[in-house]
Amino acid sequence: MGKKVALFSLTDCQGCEFVVLQLGEKLLEVAKEADFANFRLASSRKEDGPFFISFVDGAVTSNEEIERLKWIRTNSKYLVALGSCATTGGVNTLKNYFSGVNFPKEVYSRDFESFEAKPISEYVKVDVLIPGCPINLEEFVFVLKALLEDRVLKLKLAPVCEDCKKNGIECITKRGVFCLGPYTIGGCGAPCPAAGVSCFGCRGPLFSPNVTDAEKVLKDRFMHGGILFTGLGWVLVKGESK
Ligand code: SF4
Ligand code: SF4
Ligand code: SF4
């Protein structure tokens, strides 16, 4: 029997767990070393810890989730933040910019606790981060295999531009399209620029990106009449026109 591995979800769309499901038959291969003791989308098995590795996807938005997260931490040798909701709060953090809106009522027509969305590292120690919205399957397998061998990997903090260079992808900014790649954690292989659209920053911001320069480049090169051209369409942004 392999080492116990669990996947848990907090507030999110569970898209990252669906990516793990795409392992299909390979999941059985990986399962020789990993015993998936808690993976709601794949099986009805629901075991208590201790777990060798726990993957947690989703942002934290309630006290109940904080308690669950602390329980997971206590019962896991390694804790991995799976996907951008868990590593940065992800799309859930959009609600943090609104005040006076009862989101549970608006979205689900019922009341429940849902405070400001935060990444899981705000509440517990996290051993490995796997960013992405959704995650990259190869990266998941890479981290899983390494942790099963007791090797803790550190996320490489290089921009998506490095993926473009490595894969010979022509920079889309040459076509006058704004791209968030220089300010985003790379490692995804740059599928968006490869498909001719801008990186929209799904893996989260690089720590301490050069925001001042970014703002200048954005205004000088990509704004026309107060509108920013992103390659995904025209998006209205606040700010002065050139
Ligand atoms: S990171 Fe994206 S795909 Fe993954 S759970 Fe969050 S919203 Fe869904
Ligand atoms: S397409 Fe985007 S990510 Fe790729 S090199 Fe250009 S700016 Fe960087
Ligand atoms: S190119 Fe950007 S948006 Fe696309 S997968 Fe990579 S980080 Fe995410």
HEC secondary structure over the chain: CCEEEEEEECECCCHHHHHHHCCCHHHHHHCCCEEEEECCCCCCCECCCCEEEEEEECEECCHHHHHHHHHHHHCEEEEEEECHHHHHCHHHHHHHHCCCCCHHHHHHCCCCCCCCCECHHHCCCCCEEECCCCCCHHHHHHHHHHHHCCCCCCCCCCEHHHHHHHCCCCCHHHHCCCCCHHHEECCCCCHHHHCCCCCCCCCCECCCCCHHHHHHHHHHHHEECCEEECCCCEEECCCCCC
Among the candidates 121, 148, 175, a domain finishes at 148
* Segment among 16-30, 153-167, 201-215 with least mean pLDDT: 201-215
Domain count, the chain: 2
Cα(12) to centroid of ligand 1, in Å?
6
Q: State both tokens at 206.
A: 């690089």
179 pocket-lining for ligand 1 (C-beta < 6 Å): no
In terms of domains, do 186 and 138 share one? no
Strands 234-236 and 227-229: antiparallel
Residues 2-29 have pLDDT tens digits of: 899 999 999 999 999 999 998 877 777 7
What type of residue sits at position 166?
K
Cα gap 57→202, rounded to integer Å:
15
Cα gap 135→155, rounded to integer Å:
13
238 falls in which pLDDT band (50, 70, 90)? very low
Question: Do 137 and 187 form a contact (C-beta atoms < 8 A)?
Answer: no
Cα(46) to centroid of ligand 1, in Å?
22
The pLDDT of residue 31 is above 90: no
Range of the domain at 230: 160-236
In terms of domains, do 73 and 144 share one? yes
In terms of domains, do 144 and 169 share one? no
Among the candidates 148, 178, 212, a domain finishes at 148
Cα(82) to centroid of ligand 3, in Å?
16
85 pocket-lining for ligand 1 (C-beta < 6 Å): yes
127 pocket-lining for ligand 1 (C-beta < 6 Å): no
Question: Do 34 and 2 form a contact (C-beta atoms < 8 A)?
Answer: yes
In terms of domains, do 33 and 143 share one? yes
Q: What is the pLDDT of residue 24?
A: 77
Q: State both tokens at 212.
A: 């001042």
Q: Rounded to an integer, what is the distance from CA 208 to the centroid of its chain?
A: 18
Q: Which of 163, 167, 169 to mutate to test the pocket of ligand 2 (most atoms within 8 A of CB)?
A: 169
Cα gap 241→131, rounded to integer Å:
34
Mean pLDDT over the full length of the chain? 86
What type of residue sits at position 89?
G
15 pocket-lining for ligand 1 (C-beta < 6 Å): yes
Is there a domain that residue 242 lies in?
A: no
The pLDDT of residue 234 is above 80: no
Among the candidates 115, 148, 181, a domain finishes at 148
Is there a domain that residue 155 lies in?
A: no
Average the pLDDT over 94-100 and give the result: 89
Q: State both tokens at 3.
A: 């080492």
Q: What is the pLDDT of residue 231?
A: 45
In terms of domains, do 81 and 141 share one? yes
Q: What is the pLDDT of residue 117?
A: 95
Is there a domain that residue 154 lies in?
A: no
Q: Rounded to an integer, what is the distance from CA 160 to the centroid of its chain?
A: 14
Cα(162) to centroid of ligand 2, in Å?
8
Is there a domain that residue 241 lies in?
A: no
Question: Do 190 and 181 form a contact (C-beta atoms < 8 A)?
Answer: yes
The pLDDT of residue 153 is above 70: yes
CATH number at residue 106: 3.40.50.700
Q: Which of 200, 206, 230, 232 to mutate to test the pocket of ligand 3 (most atoms within 8 A of CB)?
A: 200
